[in-house]
């Protein structure tokens, strides 16, 4: 499913095409894609909220499949291995950020489904060093959402400085949030969910949230940490206000609407921190997959055939998807 021009998803901008099969270059592997999870970042790419860097492009950056062709020098995986592909596709390895263990900030980073074709397809290629072995405990459909929604949520949880046994508020309850809830609960933390969609509130209750509501001012107590998953900058001031002294709000999105003016005394004073989350490191991905297999995490998924990618994106945009929309690419 190919994006040829940026447009609103309501216009069905993805077109089914039959390009020549890709083949791996040196250091790459090719996989037969089984499942590709849909991410809100896909919406930002398709609708042009992120600047176009490659058109046409095949979107999709959290997908799972089996290695069926190996490029020269790619020794990390064997034919038949089940692997996953995530957003981060390339870093330089030489800049101050790469050398300092923060490759997610690399000035020369490249991303799957944005700079290079992704997983809304039956075949895809990826640099072997940026793919992940998928634990046996996780099915293809369960693994795909972990590879971006899960990894970014995991990074946001780390950035939120949630203390052991502490309290976490989450604003928005989509794909990332419903994975983070499972991790935080496993760590013995209390989780409060604020989301406007009634179906999302019901899912949060079913998944064990300690409190669920529609508005930030309804929270029963101030929390140690918070994560803003919704790309809505106007939620930043009330979320900051509902933090304890020394608390941290992490913004998990790659895009946000503008943040209103903050009042220093109400929102920032008492060492409250506002932090952003930028992509992920490969260590984030390995850590999330290991913890996901141990829990085990069970993402709530809604499956769509690959050719219904436009419909899946429209459903995501309209908040009609509970959990994660996943494309079945096994045509």
Residue 25: partners with Cβ closer than 8 Å, 6 or more residues away: 71, 125
pLDDT number for residue 323: 87
Sign of CA dihedral 297, 302, 305, 310: negative
Tell me the pLDDT tens digit for each residue of 86-142.
999 999 999 999 999 999 999 999 999 999 999 999 999 999 999 999 999 999 998
Tell me the pLDDT tens digit for each residue of 189-209.
999 999 999 999 999 999 999
In the chain the domains, ranked by start, together with CATH numbers, are: 2-145+299-328 (3.90.180.10), 151-276 (3.40.50.720)
Query: Is residue 105 within 8 Å of residue 121, measured between CB atoms?
Result: no
pLDDT number for residue 16: 97
Query: Is residue 226 within 8 Å of residue 176, measured between CB atoms?
Result: no
pLDDT number for residue 257: 95
Helices (H) and strands (E) in the chain, counts: 9, 17
Beta-strand relationship, 301-305 and 324-328? parallel
pLDDT number for residue 287: 93
What does pLDDT average to over the chain? 96
Positions of the chain with pLDDT under 70: none
pTM of the complete model: 0.88
Say how many C-beta atoms besides its own lie within 10 A of residue 287's C-beta: 16
């Amino acid at each position: 499913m190919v994006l040829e021009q940026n447009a609103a998803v309501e216009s069905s901008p993805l077109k089914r095409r039959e390009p020549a099969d890709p083949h791996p270059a040196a250091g790459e592997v090719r996989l037969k894609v089984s499942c590709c999870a849909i991410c809100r970042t896909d919406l930002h790419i398709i609708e042009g909220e992120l600047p176009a860097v490659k058109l046409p492009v095949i979107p999709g950056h959290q997908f799972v499949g089996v290695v069926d062709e190996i490029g020269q020098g790619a020794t990390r995986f064997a034919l038949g291995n089940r692997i996953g592909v995530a957003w981060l596709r390339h870093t330089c390895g030489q800049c101050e950020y790469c050398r300092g263990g923060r490759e997610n900030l690399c000035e020369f980073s490249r991303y799957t489904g944005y700079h290079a074709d992704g997983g809304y397809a039956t075949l895809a290629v990826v640099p072997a060093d940026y793919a992940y072995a998928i634990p046996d405990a996780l099915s293809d459909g369960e693994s795909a959402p972990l590879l971006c929604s899960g990894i970014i949520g995991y990074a946001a949880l780390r950035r939120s400085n949630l203390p052991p046994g502490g309290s976490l508020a989450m604003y928005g309850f989509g794909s990332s949030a419903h994975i983070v809830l499972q991790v935080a609960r496993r760590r013995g933390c209390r989780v409060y969910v604020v989301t406007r969609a009634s179906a999302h509130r019901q899912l949060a209750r079913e998944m064990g949230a300690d409190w669920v509501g529609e508005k930030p001012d309804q929270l029963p107590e101030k929390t140690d940490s918070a994560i803003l998953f919704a790309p809505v900058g106007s939620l930043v001031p009330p979320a900051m206000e509902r933090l304890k002294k020394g608390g941290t709000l992490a913004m998990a999105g790659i895009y946000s609407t503008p943040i209103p003016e903050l009042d220093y005394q109400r929102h920032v004073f008492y060492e409250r921190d506002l932090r952003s989350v930028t992509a992920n490191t490969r260590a984030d991905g390995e850590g999330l997959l290991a913890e996901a297999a141990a829990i085990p995490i069970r993402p709530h998924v809604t499956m769509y055939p690959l050719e219904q990618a436009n419909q899946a994106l429209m459903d995501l945009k309209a908040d009609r998807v509970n959990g994660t929309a996943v494309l079945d690419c096994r045509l």
